[in-house]
Structure 1
Amino acid sequence: MSTATATAPSPTSAPVAQGKVTQLRVLNSEWIKLRTLRSTPITLLVAVAAEVGLGILVTYLRASHPRHGGVEHINGAELSLAMYRLAQLAVGVLGVLIISGEYTTGMIRASLSAVPKRLPVLWAKAAVYGAVLLVLMTIASLAAFYGGQAVLSSYGQAAHMSDPGVTRVVFGTALYLTVIGLLGVATGALIRNSAGAIAALFGVLLVLPGLADLLPATWVPNVVPYLPSKAGEALLNVVPDPSLMSPWNGFALFVGYAVVLLAAAAVLLKRRDA
């Protein structure tokens, strides 16, 4: 006489429900990556410290020790925000590392295996980092501006947000730094090597304008205003610089460079092996 023995199914044999890959889920994944990356808080802290801390310090030193030992008229808004030049190094480097670091460690294979269409990964990295930068750099720009004006008020040279061009420069600084970060993401995706991408990014942004001094004088007006950094910096002058593009046209061109690089990175991401 035989008896049948019922065996309870093993808990480990239960099918695992797998959710559909959506852009929202990829965004959440990239947000987790960004905030848990060790270099993120350090690099962003350096950017904020450069723009706010050094900005206030430079403002104080310039106001308390005027050039040529006499009374000097100071553009308070531009002076207090001048350290964006250092902050851009930090946000640009982090933008590169966000994606090139995954190629270095090999984690990019796991990311692209989880998201076979690939492009949502790039869009999510750019969107998450861009949003973080826009919020953080806006706060930093406001802090640098108001901190600098608090210093300059003792010398009777403080600027005010209601002054012509000041609001554009304050919020334009945050926009400029956000686009720098996106250029970093695009360059990292294109070159996929951290050192090479960082060198390329800042070669174009910082070295290329210096090399423009070697051009014939007749070429300069037709070349320099359209360089990426010069186009973006047109937004950062309280009184528009006649040698550059108009503020918003220059910034539009600057954004265009970022869009073109991100589009090129998207094409290569689809075509190249991880």
Structure 2
Amino acid sequence: MTTTTIDPVRVRPAYRLRFGGVLAGEWTKFASLRSTWVTTGVSAVLLVALGLLAAAVSVEGMDAVSVALAGSTLASLAVGVLGALIGATEYTTGMVRATFVAVPGRTPVLWAKALVAGGVSFAVMTAGALLAFMLGAPMLDSGVTALGLGDEGVLRALVGAGAYLGLVAVLGVALGMLLRSSAASIAVLAGALLILPGVFMLLPGSLAETLSPYLPSNAGSAIMSLQTADGSLGPWAGLAVFAGYVVVALGAAAYRLKKADA
């Protein structure tokens, strides 16, 4: 009598999307939406156009870098809006449920969105800062300190502007996924970057002087300055403080992703 041995059925492991696939998916979402490109373009236009306008009306005592980066404040709001839209739009449309079905771990989605928003913003804003600097140089008033890319601190300030604005975009993503509302995240971002410094000016003099350098926008923008003013943070220390705020926001968003339903 012959005995037939049947091999046990081999069950294939469930398919798991690697981080590279998650990143590619988030890039596809970014590239396929008109709103993200429009917002990115507005950010670049604000930085370059306001830099050129500042060069045209520059006055004695300024330096070429501060003139070129005159549009950085409004550009920071624009890239923050970009990040918030990337982080929160899927919650508004309900598509986030489909995303989390494909990526049940959830947090890789946050990291991928942050990389896409931060990477695109860094590249575009760095190019914008360099363009504003080079195009604005011939327009500067004779009393403005003329500088070249090879002068001390110039390249650091211009590339640093891109790094700061890239981190602002990442902060927008973190707030978008934490608050799950584009409007709420944009309001918080605008308050932290634009309104909070004005509020702190109402504090008693010594307290305001002590705390103001550590406010998000004041700390982050230190990387764009050629000279460190008394009581201000140094360029890299300021950027590190701002990066700390971004890390805290990302951590809070990751915690909520793990603990709360979509």
- Same fold, judged at TM 0.5 (above): yes
Query: C-alpha displacement at 1:248, in angstroms?
Result: 0.7
Q: Which amino acid aligns with 2:41?
A: L
Instruction: Give the CA deviation at 1:236.
Output: 1.4
Inter-partner Cα distance in structure 2 for 1:158 and 1:227: 30
Which consecutive unaligned segments of at least 5 residues does structure 2 have? 1-13
Among residues 142, 154, 178, which one is paired with 2:130 in the alignment?
142
1:267 maps onto 2:238 in alignment: no
Q: Report if aligned partners of 1:122, 1:266 keep a CA contact under 8 Å in 2.
A: yes
Matched, 1:29 2:25: yes
Q: Name the structure 2 match of 1:178.
A: 166
CA displacement, residues 229-267 of structure 1 (integer Å, 9 cap, x when unaligned): 111111111111222111111110111110111011001
> 1:150 touches 1:158 (CA, 8 Å); kept in 2?
no
Match for residue 3 of structure 1? none
1:20 equivalent in alignment to 2:8: no
* SS in structure 2 at match of 1:214: coil
Match of 1:211 in 2: 199
**Root mean square deviation, CA, Å:** 1.7
Q: Deviations over 1:164-210 (max 9, x none)?
A: 22122111111110011011001111111111111011101111110
CA distance in 1, matches of 2:177, 2:39: 19
Alignment-derived partner of residue 39 in structure 1: 35
SS in 1 for 2:206: coil
In structure 2, what is the equivalent of residue 200 of structure 1?
188
Q: Gapped runs of 5+ residues in structure 1?
A: 1-17, 67-71
How is 1:1-274 mapped onto 2 (pairs within 5 angstroms)? 19-62=15-58, 66=59, 72-152=60-140, 157-274=145-262
Q: Distance in 2 between matches of 1:140 and 1:105?
A: 32
How far residue 28 of structure 1 moved from its aligned partner, in angstroms, is 0.3
Which amino acid in the other structure matches residue 227 of structure 2?
V
2-structure distance, mates of 1:134, 1:82: 17
TM-score, structure 2 as length reference: 0.91
Find runs of 4+ consecutive structure 1 residues off by over 4 angstroms: 153-157
Q: Please tell me whether the aligned partners of residues 52 and 143 of structure 1 are also in contact (alpha carbons under 8 angstroms).
A: yes
CA distance in 1, matches of 2:196, 2:143: 37
TM-score by length of 1: 0.87
Taking a change above 3 Å as real, the CA distance of residues 241 and 31 of structure 1, as seen in their structure-2 partners, is same
The whole-number CA distance in structure 2 between the counterparts of 1:187 and 1:177 is 15
Aligned residue identity for 2:26: E
- Cα distance in 2, alignment partners of residues 160 and 153 from structure 1: 15
Shift of 1:155: 7.1
Report the Cα distance in structure 2 between the residues aligned to 1:145 and 1:222, rounded to whole angstroms: 32
